[in-house]
């Protein structure tokens, strides 16, 4: 298999070398070395027993809920019990679907080390430079008996690193974010890079199987069009609240004496009044990472940022919709009137945050979690959230964002993995009650406690709010817990930017989600290999074309009528074929 895969991949990835993106690893499980003579008694949610006994003896788990739930000053003995055993009796059933707790695979029956390719990011790398040292993964190793070796590409070089790894034919055991493979995870299975896990899930990943099958939306979004299970996916107990939108400084509302705007015309009046009040660039509109195409303002005109589901239930491309010229005319006017940040084409994240706290900015298009940190926590700037603008009073605000209970990231097991059972056991732990607690909330006692209902929470005296290095909370969500992984991600209760005392970012996100129509949201469809290759080619060309024309028109470098030329070029590039690919994938998704 290895040589066939390597030959196939070398030719494919030399062509795609400059186009694809990140993730790799490699593993050498000690398959022939049996070191399972572990006589340590392990408490589990289902059974107790020694791992080397031929016949496991069923025994009731000690119920420690009375000692742990509601305890705000646990003893060291109590912390050790929670952190060093698989006893989960203190955790409540806090969701409609019960989180599984089959721990029969742990500790794993033999010594094994798994290589895990997992990208980092600038924040995570700053607080945990080596993922082998992450406190959560260290604890996962202890509880599962499975050793981990992380392979992390340099930040910013994930794409090239992933491509070169695939071309080499030398793969890790597990790849986090395997969808980077050209054509997606299913294409990776067909090409011999990833293992088809369909026939293995029930046996070797009972918790993942139970969790994904406990809800129809989770089931539908974690299976391929042909019924295959190719990866472990991050799947939540709920559809997470939308996280991006219009945020207004309260002081700007106070200075202008205006209410939170609703229609596009009201927004224009508010921004004009804000400029007159001293906010020289009142709307922080865009950046190098895509704020111009968020569906916030353009969505009012039905010009969604990319592919969406129209009123007929069909796939459509937002930039090609009838209201595009009206949208561009509006933004051209706002640009000419100096209502936008002047560097919206080039600003990076740090520039935007510096502008946000300046006296020039009245409105940010961003995450309330982020701005609660930068505005309220660091600079005592209060703010409110506004719904996406509408054209006419009485219209329903809309968004293309819908979580579909699929969140975080995914993980695939490669064909180079020598101990597939161990790899599945490691990944499956993230879908147990204990894994839910640990991945989302970190260590008991030092980072979180458990309330009277059995729900973990970050306490005021814990490390999350008292970091010895003085790191901001926006960094600590990566330091003491796992913010993005293939697990049961409990964002609403485990993101300290939402749950911190005084934080109202979660209130804003919930308000947005409950008061905007997400009927235009495209579900998480999948493409076939041929479709994916063609969709990527056409999508890159169309995205580049859109970016060039829209930016130049808004900046006044091209007339608004240049949109007609843009649309003609888009059709010549293959726009109808592009939309057809999405429609075919949408049809298959609806039939799952």
Domain residue ranges in the chain? 2-29+94-239+405-442, 245-402+497-515, 529-590
| pLDDT at res. 584 | 96
Query: 3-state class of 141 per DSSP?
Result: helix
CA–CA dist 434, 100 (Å, integer)? 9
Is the pLDDT at 349 greater than 90? The verdict is no
Supply 584's token pair.
Answer: 């075919």
Please, which pLDDT band fits residue 293 given cuts at 50, 70 and 90? low
Whole-number average pLDDT of the chain:
89
pLDDT digit string (tens) for 175-227? 999 999 988 898 899 899 999 999 999 999 999 999 999 999 999 999 998 89
Residues 6+ apart with CB under 8 A from 59: 47, 48, 49
| Residue 168, H or E segment | helix 158-168
Task: Decide: pTM greater than 0.95.
Answer: no
Examine the pLDDT at 287 and tell me if it is beyond 60: no
The encoded tokens of residue 461 equal 């005296």
Lowest mean pLDDT among 87-91, 276-280, 291-295, 342-346: 291-295
Closest C-alpha to 12, from 150, 191, 148: 191
Q: What is the pLDDT of residues 22-58, one digit of tens each?
A: 333 333 333 333 332 232 323 334 433 334 443 444 5
Instruction: Tell me whether domains 2-29+94-239+405-442 and 245-402+497-515 share a fold.
Output: yes
| Coil/strand/helix, residue 117 | strand
Asked whether the CA dihedral 273, 277, 281, 283 is positive or negative, the reply is negative
d(C-alpha 434, C-alpha 428), whole Å: 11
In this prediction, residue 419 carries a pLDDT of 98
d(CA 24, CA 158): 9
In percent, the amount of the chain with pLDDT more than 70 equals 89
Run of H or E residues at 365? strand 363-366
Question: What's the confidence (pLDDT) of residue 26?
Answer: 38
Pairing of strands 383-386, 283-284: unpaired
CA atoms within 13 A on the CB side of 335: 21
Q: At what angle do helices 2-16 and 158-168 cross, to 10 degrees?
A: 140
- The number of beta carbons lying within 10 Å of the beta carbon of residue 312 is 7
Reported CATH class of domain 245-402+497-515: alpha beta
Domain 2-29+94-239+405-442's class?
A: alpha beta
> Per residue in 382-405, pLDDT tens?
999 999 999 999 999 999 988 899
**Stretch 452-471: mean pLDDT, rounded?**
96
Residue 470 confidence (pLDDT) = 93
Tokens of 512: 């947005």
pLDDT category of residue 265 using cuts at 50, 70 and 90: very high
CA distance 580 to 587: 10
């Amino acid at each position: 298999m290895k040589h066939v895969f390597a030959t196939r991949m070398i030719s494919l990835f030399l062509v795609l070398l400059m186009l694809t993106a990140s993730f790799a690893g490699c593993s050498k499980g000690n398959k022939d070395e049996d070191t399972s003579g572990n006589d340590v008694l392990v408490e589990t949610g289902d059974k107790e027993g020694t791992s080397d006994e031929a016949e496991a003896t069923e025994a009731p788990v000690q119920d420690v809920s009375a000692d742990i739930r509601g305890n705000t000053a646990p003893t060291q003995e109590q912390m050790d019990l929670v952190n060093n055993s698989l006893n989960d009796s203190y955790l409540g059933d806090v969701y409609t679907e019960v989180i599984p707790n089959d721990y029969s695979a742990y500790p794993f029956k033999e010594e094994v080390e798994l290589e895990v390719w997992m990208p980092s990011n600038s924040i995570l790398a700053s607080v945990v430079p080596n993922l082998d040292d992450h406190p959560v993964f260290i604890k996962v190793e202890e509880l599962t008996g499975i050793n981990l070796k992380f392979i992390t590409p340099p930040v910013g070089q994930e794409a090239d690193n992933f491509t070169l790894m695939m071309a080499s034919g030398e793969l890790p055991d597990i790849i986090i974010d395997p969808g980077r493979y050209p054509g997606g995870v299913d294409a990776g299975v067909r090409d011999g890079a990833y293992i088809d896990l369909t026939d293995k899930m029930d046996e070797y990943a009972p918790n993942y199987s139970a969790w994904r099958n406990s809800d129809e939306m989770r089931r539908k979004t974690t299976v391929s069009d042909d019924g295959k299970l190719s990866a472990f996916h991050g799947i939540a107990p709920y559809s997470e609240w939308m996280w991006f939108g219009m945020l207004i400084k309260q002081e700007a509302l106070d200075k202008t004496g205006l209410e939170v705007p609703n229609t596009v015309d009201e927004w224009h009046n508010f921004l004009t009044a804000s400029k007159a009040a001293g906010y020289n660039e009142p709307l922080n509109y865009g950046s190098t990472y895509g704020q111009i195409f968020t569906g916030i303002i353009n969505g009012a005109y039905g010009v969604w940022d990319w592919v969406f589901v129209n009123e007929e239930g069909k796939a459509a491309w937002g930039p090609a919709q009838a209201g595009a010229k009206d949208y561009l005319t509006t933004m051209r006017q706002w640009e000419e009137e100096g209502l936008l940040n002047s560097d919206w084409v080039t600003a990076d994240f740090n520039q935007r945050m510096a502008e946000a706290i300046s006296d020039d900015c009245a409105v940010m298009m961003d995450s309330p979690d982020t701005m609660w940190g930068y505005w309220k926590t660091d600079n005592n700037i209060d703010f409110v959230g506004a719904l996406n603008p509408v054209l006419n009073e009485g219209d329903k605000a809309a968004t293309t964002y819908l979580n579909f209970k699929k969140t975080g990231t995914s993980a695939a097991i490669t064909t180079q993995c020598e101990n597939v059972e161990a790899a599945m056991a490691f990944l499956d732990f993230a879908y147990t009650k204990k894994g839910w607690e640990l991945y989302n909330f970190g260590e008991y006692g030092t980072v979180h406690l458990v309330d009277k209902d059995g729900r973990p929470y970050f306490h005021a005296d814990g490390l999350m709010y008292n970091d010895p290095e003085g790191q901001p909370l926006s960094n600590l969500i990566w330091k003491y817990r796992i913010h993005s992984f293939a697990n049961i991600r409990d964002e609403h209760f485990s993101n300290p930017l939402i749950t911190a005392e005084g934080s109202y970012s979660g209130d804003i996100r919930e308000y947005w989600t409950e008061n905007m129509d997400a009927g235009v949201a495209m579900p998480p469809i999948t493409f076939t290999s041929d479709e994916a290759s063609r969709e990527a080619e056409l999508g890159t060309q169309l995205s580049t074309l859109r970016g060039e024309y829209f930016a130049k028109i808004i900046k006044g470098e091209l007339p608004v009528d240049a949109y007609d030329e843009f649309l003609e070029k888009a059709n010549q590039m293959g726009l109808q074929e592009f939309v057809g690919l999405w429609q075919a994938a949408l049809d298959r998704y609806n039939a799952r």
